[in-house]
């Protein structure tokens, strides 16, 4: 049981050490990246919605 505790302790210490090495984004970078993701999501959703509308129209008027 002690061996497992030592392994867990060692693992958590190594995680803490590695997390200190991470280059975290600044608040401004995080906001910019979030805006980019939201805009891209909006554009893709408009595109897919338009395709859905076109295919629905084609199927409704020509195949059924």
The model's confidence at residue 2, banded by pLDDT at 50, 70 and 90, is confident
**Buried/exposed code over 34-55 (b: 16+ C-beta within 10 A; e: otherwise):** eeeeeeeeeeeeeeeeeeeeee
The model's confidence at residue 64, banded by pLDDT at 50, 70 and 90, is low
The pLDDT, as a whole number, for residue 1 is: 66
Is the overall model pTM greater than 0.75, yes or no? no
């Amino acid at each position: 049981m002690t061996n497992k505790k030592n392994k867990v302790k060692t693992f958590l210490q190594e995680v803490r050490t590695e997390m200190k090495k991470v280059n975290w984004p600044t608040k401004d970078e995080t906001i910019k990246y979030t805006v980019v993701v939201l805009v891209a999501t909006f554009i893709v959703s408009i595109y897919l919605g338009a395709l859905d509308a076109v295919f629905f129209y084609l199927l409704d008027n020509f195949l059924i």
